[in-house]
Structure 1
Amino acid sequence: MLLATLGLTGLHWLSHRYDRTVTKQNLLDPAARKPRTDLSQALNYLLIGSDHRPGANPDDQRSDSILIVHVPAGMRQAYLISIPRDLLVTIPAAPGYDGGQDKINAAYEYGGGGEAGARLLSATLSRLTGIRFDGAALLDFSGFKEVIDLLGGIQMCVDTEIRSVHTKTLFTTGCQQMDGARALDYVRQRYGLPGGDYDRQRHQQQMLRAVLNKAGQTHLRDDPVKLDRVLRAAGSALTVDTNGKSLDDLLLAFRGLPPDALRGVQVPSYPQVIGEVSYVVLDNGGGGLFDALRATRMPEWVGANPRWVNRL
């Protein structure tokens, strides 16, 4: 998403500056990493969002958001596939953890959080979907707040009135301008929403698109000081694994991806209580979604499964 934003500037020197700002780590397990990324082919990236709110338990290292970003060949579309945080999966063994069944967001915690946690999560997701990733990113939502503020806020459309369980803010229905703190508070909510965590996933997808839309509308090209501040804020909020590709190469590849090309996708699944614990389980093995990912047939799958497609 941020690389696409950079592509709007058309300035290669900015990508070099960004390259020096962003943290780079090996976020992908060897079993989850594609041996070689070919930017002319379909691509799959893992995006892990983490938000350690003030007052939260510092030992709680579970990932708040897990998305697969699928980009078909041609770079004219992108699919944001949200993985339910409570999805019941088999997590491989890791140092200090024997492996077993648990909620998928626990994999990040069992791996120790950070770089190692991302690797265990990527291995878990690769085992589940059968795909290998072309790269990964850790996004700190708390740091991402500054990016939204520097862009002047974003437009979010609230479809169900809800009061924040974190700040007690009331979000009334309708499209409205939100600053970083308000937007991130809104997309955290799941209790009291008709679709629960599925609505939360959709709101996070909407936020990512809204940021990309605003970046496209903001004349960053004509304001190098503001652009530099946005890049530095983005760099402080991101840790990336580009699988050996330079940010220059990624910039050139993604520069033509328009904001309205983003599609939100939910994994076919449903909530189920097992042993007095609430989980999410796959509906019919995922309804063919993972097969479509592996076979690069996402446009066909989306057309045949409108129930699981979010309007962004």
Structure 2
Amino acid sequence: MDNRYRYSGSYRRPPRPANGLRKAKIAVATASALTLLLTWFGWTQLQQINSGLTTADVIESGTSTESPADGSEDILLVGMDSRTDAQGNSLSPELLAQLHAGGDDGESNTDTMILVHIPNGGSRATAISIPRDSYVDIAGGHGTHKINSAFAWGKNAVMGSLRQQGMSGAQLEVQSNQEGAKTAIRTVQDLTGVTVDHYAQINLAGFYDITQAIGGVQVCLKAAVDDDFSGAHFQAGEQSVSGAAALAFVRQRHGLPKGDLDRIHRQQAFMAGMARKVLSAGTLTDTGKLAALADAVKKSVVLDQGWDLVGFAQQLRGLTGGSTQFTTIPVENMSYETPHDGDAVKVDPFKVRDFVRGLTATTTTQAPPAITVDVLNGAGVPGLAGRAMDQLVTKGYGRGDTGNTAARSTTLVTYGTGGEADARKVAADLGGGIDVSQEPSLAGGHVEVYLGSDYRGPGAQGWAAGGSLMLNGAAVRAAPTTSSDAPITADGVTCVN
């Protein structure tokens, strides 16, 4: 028990955050990405991006481009190891040399695949990385290969017929890329069981331009690296990277302790830093950065047809850095010997689908939750309150407020008059062994959780290694994690290999 809050034989309610949660939430919203929608300049920049983007008809019939019935959005983000821009034009040899892109082998492989799930309301996001060497069935009857080749299989399958139609140059590149994207989307859908609603593709040059436009991204390395293959030459600790250095940071594969998994952690940490930077008021109020960002996106990003970025941005008003989480599908073997494709990453599609379902499932209960929970972080672990809240919501609790509170050593659950049973249920779902205490000022059906440094329940690092989630009455086993590969969030800078 934490004696700091003991008074007259009972617990005194721990102090709320200095200015109250509601004021804190207002402050966060003001600094969020959608603050730009409140300014004329920000609005016009979004409109210009929306009207000037390169789009492709890649969401096939039977897959609606409108929001699904539950209001969630599933977006496939693809980073292309491509030597052309979004319009199909070849990148200059000088730029390719600066980016350490290496020789062009004629293939159009995907360097990165991330499935982003945004539930109804847009207040949080989960980004699920798929290792590029995952050995999977390629959609369209192309056999079993590394998932990063799905795009190339689809593209190459139509090149001959498109040439017969008289296409060449940039037009041939754009049209064949469209078929490659369709194959990549179908392959990800087959692997994860998720219907992709939207598609976004960025090339090598796009990474370069976008990171420069926002003034760099803050990252952190556990140790210095010196890799001539990717051009990654970085010191240990926190640092800002942009342009060619940013690309080298996310592309390094050689010399990493865990190989491709460390590379994925690099990408996740980088994207978390980018989300944090774009969500910051410093980017959103800088007209120069916004204009440069708009130009970079239009030049290097391909989106599916019909994706209204302005409308999508309005859905994300509540998104903040701490509510953006990055994770990776479960893997069976990082060095699986394949018959024809060399070493690959072995994955079990059934386990992958269960894992993704556990992160994306939406409860279908129509009645309002009987218990609403606030979660306050006194443990000093960035993003812990948001992660714990997300897990409680999957168990059927109402989403209350999250925020920080005074540092404390023990976790405590407080309840109002007649709410002891509710509090004990919450405490049990947080792992048990947690004290409960009455707080008469709380309304009925409302519970507050104060996380202390002793907290090891849902949302804490390492919890998934021995826990499971209850979703729609079924237990879903999460992928094993350790303290070194727990989900990364955009709340704070995470040091990686």
SS where residue 7 of structure 1 aligns? helix
- 1:204 CA displacement: 0.9
- 1:126 CA displacement: 0.9
Which of 265, 280, 285 is 2:350 aligned to?
285
Confirm or deny: 8 A CA contact 1:144 1:234 kept in the other structure. Answer: no
2:34 maps to 7
SS where residue 256 of structure 1 aligns? coil
1:44 maps to 74
**Separation of aligned partners in 1, 2:230 and 2:350:** 37
1:90 maps to 137
**Separation of aligned partners in 1, 2:235 and 2:79:** 26
Over 3 Å counting, the alpha-carbon distance change for 1:39 and 1:12 in structure 2 is farther
Q: Alpha-carbon deviations, 1:158-212, whole Å to 9, x = none?
A: 1243222425543222111222211210110122111211111111111112122
**Separation of aligned partners in 2, 1:225 and 1:253:** 25
Name the TM-score, length of structure 1 as normaliser: 0.86
Which of 95, 98, 121 is 1:74 aligned to?
121
Q: How does 1:182-193 map to 2 (within 5 A)?
A: 182-193=245-256
Which of 222, 226, 232 is 2:289 aligned to?
226
**2:34 counterpart letter in structure 1:** G
- 1:99 CA displacement: 1.6
2:329 maps to 267
Which of 151, 155, 166 is 1:108 aligned to?
151
- 1:109 CA displacement: 0.5
What are structure 1's unaligned runs of at least 5 residues?
none
**1:139 counterpart letter in structure 2:** I
What are structure 2's unaligned runs of at least 5 residues?
1-30, 84-95, 97-101, 156-175, 364-386, 395-457, 465-477, 490-497
- 1:79 CA displacement: 1.1
- 1:22 aligned onto 2:53: yes
Over 3 Å counting, the alpha-carbon distance change for 1:212 and 1:92 in structure 2 is closer
Over 3 Å counting, the alpha-carbon distance change for 1:159 and 1:286 in structure 2 is farther
Confirm or deny: 8 A CA contact 2:128 2:328 kept in the other structure. Answer: yes
Q: Alpha-carbon deviations, 1:227-282, whole Å to 9, x = none?
A: 2122111221211116x342221111113211222111111003222337211112
- 1:225 CA displacement: 3.7
State the superposition RMSD in angstroms: 2.7
Q: Alpha-carbon deviations, 1:126-159, whole Å to 9, x = none?
A: 1122211111100123222122112221111012
**2:272 counterpart letter in structure 1:** R
**1:127 counterpart letter in structure 2:** D
SS where residue 271 of structure 2 aligns? helix
Confirm or deny: 8 A CA contact 1:50 1:62 kept in the other structure. Answer: yes
Confirm or deny: 8 A CA contact 2:121 2:315 kept in the other structure. Answer: no
Over 3 Å counting, the alpha-carbon distance change for 1:129 and 1:40 in structure 2 is closer
**Separation of aligned partners in 2, 1:37 and 1:78:** 15
Over 3 Å counting, the alpha-carbon distance change for 1:38 and 1:29 in structure 2 is closer
Aligned residues: 303
Q: Alpha-carbon deviations, 1:81-140, whole Å to 9, x = none?
A: 1101111111122xxxx5211111111001116221110010111112221111110012
2:299 maps to 236
Confirm or deny: 8 A CA contact 1:130 1:294 kept in the other structure. Answer: no
**Separation of aligned partners in 2, 1:35 and 1:232:** 25
2:486 maps to 309
Over 3 Å counting, the alpha-carbon distance change for 1:58 and 1:22 in structure 2 is farther
Greater Cα offset, 269-278 or 55-64: 269-278
**Separation of aligned partners in 2, 1:141 and 1:175:** 24
Name the TM-score, length of structure 2 as normaliser: 0.56
SS where residue 295 of structure 2 aligns? helix
Over 3 Å counting, the alpha-carbon distance change for 1:91 and 1:167 in structure 2 is closer
Confirm or deny: 8 A CA contact 1:156 1:183 kept in the other structure. Answer: no
Confirm or deny: 8 A CA contact 1:39 1:253 kept in the other structure. Answer: no
SS where residue 214 of structure 1 aligns? helix
Q: How does 1:196-211 map to 2 (within 5 A)?
A: 196-211=259-274
**Separation of aligned partners in 2, 1:143 and 1:70:** 23
SS where residue 108 of structure 2 aligns? coil
Confirm or deny: 8 A CA contact 2:117 2:360 kept in the other structure. Answer: no
Confirm or deny: 8 A CA contact 1:51 1:141 kept in the other structure. Answer: yes
Greater Cα offset, 273-282 or 170-179: 273-282
Q: Alpha-carbon deviations, 1:26-80, whole Å to 9, x = none?
A: 223446x346414962221101111336242151200000010011223221111
- 1:151 aligned onto 2:214: yes
**Separation of aligned partners in 1, 2:118 and 2:199:** 13
Which of 181, 206, 217 is 2:244 aligned to?
181
Greater Cα offset, 215-224 or 174-183: 215-224
**Separation of aligned partners in 2, 1:147 and 1:226:** 10
- 1:64 aligned onto 2:111: yes
**1:226 counterpart letter in structure 2:** K
2:183 maps to 120
